[in-house]
Amino acid sequence: MNSIFNNSVLLSAVIAGSVAQILKVILTLITEKQIVWDRFIETGGMPSAHSASVTALSVSLGMKYGWDSPLVAISFIFAYIVMYDATGVRQAAGKHAQLINELIDELGHLFDEGFQPKTLKTLLGHTLPQVFLGALLGVLIAVLTVENLLVK
């Protein structure tokens, strides 16, 4: 179990995702003037924790095993799919949820008393800037953790 905590690649990805989630709480405090602790565990928002994690993973692997490693190739394709999905499918799902919520609000009086629909979560995906800044954060965290702290 101790060796997993010495895995610089894993730690880099986990730290990057965690820092991104912490930044979401801080940015919400700045923009909305309130602490919203749920932002720490929610998907969506600025910056993308998914992008930060998978980018840190890819960059850490490249720095540790060489940029021509098959591990880097696998992780780059994985990162591409995650980031593409965040700006495509998940972003569209969030927009659909928002429209459905608006329809429920407008047409709620048509539902019988036994049917009480729950509000759908709308913050699912990311915009391109959110993904881009998450990826930049991932590169920064990978360089800081792998170069300075963990690789011997």
User: Model confidence at 136, in pLDDT bands (50, 70, 90)?
Assistant: very high
DSSP state letter for 149 = I
pLDDT of 151 > 70? The answer is no
Query: What are the boundaries of each domain within the chain?
Result: 2-88+125-150
In degrees and rounded to multiples of 5, residue 67 shows phi and psi of: -70, -15
pLDDT at 96: 77
Tell me the pLDDT band of 150, cut-offs 50, 70 and 90: very low
Please report the pLDDT score of residue 99 as a whole number.
Answer: 83
For 24-40, give one letter per residue: b (16+ CB within 10 A) or e.
bbeebeeeeeeeeeebe
Question: Does residue 71 or residue 96 have the better pLDDT?
Answer: 71
Residue 95 and residue 101: Cα distance in Å, rounded? 10
Instruction: Retrieve residue 61's tokens.
Output: 């692997």
Q: Tokens for 57?
A: 């993973």
